[in-house]
Structure 1
Amino acid sequence: MSDAQNDPRRARREAKVSAILTEAWQLAERDGLALISLRELAAGVNLRQPSLYVYFASKLDLYDAMFADGYRQLIDYLDSQPMPTDPRAALEQFVVDNVRFSSTYPVVHQMLFQRTIPGFAPSPASWEAALEFYGRARAILTRVGADDQDDIDIFSSLIAGLCDQQIANDPGGDRWVQHVPRVVAMFLTGAVHPAT
């Protein structure tokens, strides 16, 4: 039995935090991340605005929780997708899954991969979720022999570009997803067998 199940107050608190985060994502989708209204957020979860501070010390604290929650959503999504055993096919699938997730949840993508909130930096605790994602990406790259830090930097730039183009030009579609095999082939040619 989990601690939350043993402690009804903790369970209620976790449920309220979950409800606040769900409402915050909905407001962010409607108005943009930087324009989340704490008054509207509180009203959406049947609280008065000052009562939000029981759960989040500040708006930046709320963003920190959203950052960690966004990475949990991304990791859960990746876990729900079948992963091929072939290393190259697994790399392609990882990219496809990231582009599709970002296209489906563009506000989450913005929170995780773009610096859109002035003054926001994730806490060490929230950063742990980002490191888990990074570790997964690095493991997949290692399997194809692209484990140099420069390779990882280039790879992350390629994924970011595909995600941004998909979100901006064909949200929910496959226009940039279909380019993944070619992009991965170009990456592997340069990363694993660099031109001399």
Structure 2
Amino acid sequence: MSTAGLDRRSRRRQQTIDEILDVSIALMETEGVAALSLSAVARQLGMQPPSLYQYFPSKLAIYDALFRRGAEGFRDAQRVATVDAAPEDQLELAITAFSRWCMANQVLSQLLFWRTVPGFEPSAEAFAPAVDAIDDLKLCLQQEVDGGRLHQDATSDEGIALFTAITAGVLSQQLANEPQAAFETGRFTQLMPIVIEMFYQRYRGKKR
């Protein structure tokens, strides 16, 4: 989170919050996403565990802040990738940017997409950037419909569900089997263009 426009005290507080989240991610990388420990976070930061409650009232609150960070991250990655692109290129650029982000942020990807923390549900505020990302996806699909490359049904609830299921499935396989591979060389991520073409075949437009 940017600290621009905050007073000194608020900046220091936000910096501490960011440090807590960074340490949490590092611990989750080594211990597992669901195994996050407040005492371990405090120990890494050189503070007493009760001091964490000044910033987060519970472990679930840390997960919530991390969920929001992750959702903002992949949403913004997609937007940067498509901002100056031609409409017919935006869908592939968006899913490529999303895939690259997931591979570079595997801990957050697990928290966002694979329900690895029992009992955790993101707050509406934390989930809002993910809703934005789905709206962006719908816009990309609608542009393909308007261009005659996809049928209108591609923007239906079924179409959105199918697109997210098949692309997330590719990423799930990649992260489960070859987490260290590059996007370009991953055994499963190399299949992403084929998967997208399958989606186009399912919702073929007049110009395809």
Q: Which runs of 5+ in 2 are unaligned?
A: 146-153
2:194 aligns with 182
Look up the match of 1:98: 98
| Poorly superposed stretches of 4+, deviation over 4 Å | none
CA RMSD of superposed structures (Å): 2.0
Q: Hey, what's the Cα distance between the residues in 2 that align with 1:54 and 1:130?
A: 27
What CA deviation, in whole Å up to 9, does each residue of 1:117-146 have, x standing for no partner? 111111111111211221122211221122
1:144 aligns with 2:156: no
Separation of aligned partners in 1, 2:80 and 2:26: 23
1:169 aligns with 2:202: no
Partner AA of 2:160 in structure 1 = I
Write the letter of the residue equivalent to 1:37.
Answer: S
Whole-Å separation in 1 of the counterparts to 2:62 and 2:73: 16
> Is it true that 1:160 corresponds to 2:136 in the alignment?
no
- Correspondences of 1:35-50 after superposition (within 5 Å): 35-50=35-50
Determine if contact 2:64/2:123 at 8 Å carries over to the other structure. yes
TM-score by length of 2: 0.84
SS in 1 for 2:130: helix
Residues 88 and 148 of structure 1: is their aligned pair in 2 closer, same or farther, counting only changes over 3 Å? same
Question: Residue 27 of structure 1 aligns to which amino acid in structure 2?
Answer: L
Structure-to-structure mapping, 1:78-157, within 5 angstroms: 78-81=78-81, 85-145=85-145, 146-157=154-165
Residue number in structure 1 paired with 2:203: 191
> Are the aligned partners of 1:28 and 1:35 in contact in 2 as well (CA < 8 Å)?
yes
Query: One-letter code of the match for 1:190?
Result: R
Task: State the structure with bigger RCO (CA 8 A, min sep 6), 1 or 2.
Answer: 1
**Would you say the 8 A contact 1:84–1:93 is kept in 2?**
no
